[in-house]
Structure 1
Amino acid sequence: MKAVVLKAYGDVDALAVQDMPEPKVGPGEVKVRVTAASINPVDWKIRRGDMKSVMPVQFPTILGRDVSGEVIEVGTGVEAFEPGDRVMGLVNAGYAETVVAPTEAWAKVPENLDLRDAAALPLVTLTGVQLIEEVVQPSQGQTLLITGALGAVGRAAVFAAKARGVKIWAGVRSSQVAEARKLGVEGVVALDDLNDVAKLPTLDAVADTVGGMALTKVLERVKHGGIVGSAVGEPKGAKEKGLTVRTFLSHTDGRRLAQLGESVAKGDLFIPIAKTFPLTEAKDAQKLAEKGGVGKVLLVN
């Protein structure tokens, strides 16, 4: 099969399209012919070597955490899927023509959801929802800031927080304030404007999807003992301010992913897609995605 292979740590020139052995399906696993794969920040962070201390790889390796496609084979013991099913999943080695992953990684794609577009959903929607439901766990009526609220993970976090009856403040860049108001939240704050940050109410919690200075600026607005949940690592200075810090890595959850797919199909949750590239143009696709602020970028077979 054709796959995009990372040959060494480096820039996009470390990526190459080449023939790789096709993965074999084992017990409890599902093999899928990939329609599309999604590009995520973790992909270029691994490529650059940013994460080699926590996520080392053996070269050559295939990047890609989420895909959509059609089931072509199931392993022994698999009853939830059969050949021909349209699926999406949180996987490994997704930049390829075929992929194999455990049953729990997969969810069926709703009939009225484009199969290609479904590749944009698994990692970002599960990360955003798990950040709210499993990490921050805000209660009804509490005031919550979601940083990067217009990003794909942020949008999913907003969606999950709304379901809990939380008072949501969307943290975005100054240039995004008008767009963020369309999210239907309690308020919008420009995180790159200190005067605007100073106007924030006292926060019960922060759900952080961006990290860095954007988060550091708002810590003073969180009540003592308040929760800072992060999808991008432990924030500097939060514990020193008496805050409860919770970090996590997203995990597979086929049942929840299926529900999120239905929410997208109904229009209740929107994950913007910026552009699609052929699998053979993975270098250009990663370059675009790495610039940020462009919506999801897909690789299609």
Structure 2
Amino acid sequence: MPYASVLTGYGKPEALAWSPVAMPEPGPGQIRIRVHAAGVGPTDLKIRRGDLRQVFPLPPSAVLGFEAAGTVDALGPAVTGVATGDEVAAMLPALGGYGEYALASSWTAKPANVGWADAAALPASAEAAVGVLRQLGLTAGETLLILGGGGSVGLIATQLALSQGATVIGATGPRDEELLRELGAIPVRYGPDLLARVRDSADVGKVDAVLDAGGRGGLGDAVALAGGPARVITLADEHAADFGVVLSAPTPDRAPDALDLTMPLLASGELRLRTQRLLPMSDAAHAHSLLESGQVHEKLVLTAG
């Protein structure tokens, strides 16, 4: 019988318990993955606490985890183009990544030179970065401000926007300033004087669009810099409506091709990811505690075996 980190009830990290679960069976159009690695993200914490229960209700004994990488173990009816034993990465709309086995409805082949941890760290961040850049309608020659430019989503969005010919200003902490500079972005410090720092350090005219990937405040400054809320989108700030800003969440049509677009870039070395910290799959509760503490700089990835 397989095991998974089961959510025994909304609450603290200790609500995640490593427990035996039924083997998931793939339905039409699904594959079953023997999970080698699963990403842990901020949204997972909100789901566990029950913050999103009104819009994201969970069944009893749910298994969290939106992103996973592993080996195809079984095929459901009408599945083509993939075989058991293939190595894949997937965004899991029905969750399930924190377990030894998970079901996926869409997936991307994992190149041999991409490690399991990188493959598991990519799906959700790539989907968010690609999706929001499309929602913003960013074009070559425009200037994009990214709040949380050094985070998992922010780094990917920075590199994609730069490749599209945009100028990128990345608001971040001191540890990520040099990395953003290396990538070709203009780093600025988060803080109370963000508005002034952006205007002083970016000799590029006005800011055309803002992606808030951090949810640490600054939406008021973002709206002021962009000349209004129309092209300001946040992924994480629950006070978005107070500023007339869109709070974007994953949808089936936001960026279904994001993993197909970004995995080759990761394999070729054209895309860099946030540094990762690996923990055993059975330590999901500890991973949540670390992430919730706000003291973790790395992307957390759970590994099996």
How far 1:119 moved relative to its partner? 0.8
| Number of the residue aligned with 1:172 | 172
Give, in whole Å, the separation in 1 of the partners of 2:145 and 2:3: 43
How far 1:155 moved relative to its partner? 1.1
How far 1:129 moved relative to its partner? 1.4
| Number of the residue aligned with 2:191 | 192
Q: Residues 129 and 41 of structure 1: is their aligned pair in 2 closer, same or farther, counting only changes over 3 Å?
A: same
- Do the aligned residues in 2 keep the contact of 1:191 with 1:217 (CA within 8 Å)? no
Give, in whole Å, the separation in 1 of the partners of 2:3 and 2:127: 28
1:158 maps onto 2:163 in alignment: no
The amino acid of 1:94's aligned partner reads G
- Do the aligned residues in 2 keep the contact of 1:131 with 1:207 (CA within 8 Å)? yes
1:229 maps onto 2:233 in alignment: yes
Instruction: Give unmatched runs, 5+ long, in structure 1.
Output: 240-244
1:206 maps onto 2:210 in alignment: yes
Q: Which moved more, 1:226-235 or 1:148-157?
A: 226-235
What value does the CA root-mean-square deviation take over the aligned residues?
Answer: 2.0
SS at match of 2:191: coil
Q: Residues 55 and 63 of structure 1: is their aligned pair in 2 closer, same or farther, counting only changes over 3 Å?
A: same
Residue 267 of structure 1, aligned match among 266, 269, 283: 269
- Do the aligned residues in 1 keep the contact of 2:222 with 2:232 (CA within 8 Å)? no
| Number of the residue aligned with 1:284 | 286
Give, in whole Å, the separation in 2 of the partners of 1:126 and 1:290: 22
Give, in whole Å, the separation in 2 of the partners of 1:25 and 1:226: 41
| Number of the residue aligned with 1:242 | none
Q: Residues 183 and 78 of structure 1: is their aligned pair in 2 closer, same or farther, counting only changes over 3 Å?
A: same
Q: Residues 23 and 213 of structure 1: is their aligned pair in 2 closer, same or farther, counting only changes over 3 Å?
A: same
- Do the aligned residues in 1 keep the contact of 2:155 with 2:274 (CA within 8 Å)? no
The within-5 A match list for 1:80-95 is 80-91=81-92, 92-95=95-98
Give, in whole Å, the separation in 1 of the partners of 2:292 and 2:161: 27
How far 1:170 moved relative to its partner? 0.9
From the two aligned structures, give the one with the greater strand fraction. 1
| Number of the residue aligned with 2:99 | 96
Residue 238 of structure 1, aligned match among 236, 243, 246: 243
How far 1:101 moved relative to its partner? 1.9
- Do the aligned residues in 2 keep the contact of 1:141 with 1:165 (CA within 8 Å)? yes
| Number of the residue aligned with 1:219 | 223
The amino acid of 2:234's aligned partner reads S
- Do the aligned residues in 1 keep the contact of 2:161 with 2:168 (CA within 8 Å)? yes
Give, in whole Å, the separation in 1 of the partners of 2:25 and 2:97: 14
How far 1:276 moved relative to its partner? 0.9
Give, in whole Å, the separation in 2 of the partners of 1:16 and 1:158: 36
Question: TM-score normalised to the size of structure 1?
Answer: 0.90
Q: Residues 49 and 108 of structure 1: is their aligned pair in 2 closer, same or farther, counting only changes over 3 Å?
A: same
Question: TM-score normalised to the size of structure 2?
Answer: 0.89
- Do the aligned residues in 2 keep the contact of 1:126 with 1:251 (CA within 8 Å)? no
SS at match of 2:240: coil
Instruction: Give unmatched runs, 5+ long, in structure 2.
Output: none
Identity of aligned residues (%): 29
Give, in whole Å, the separation in 2 of the partners of 1:3 and 1:141: 47
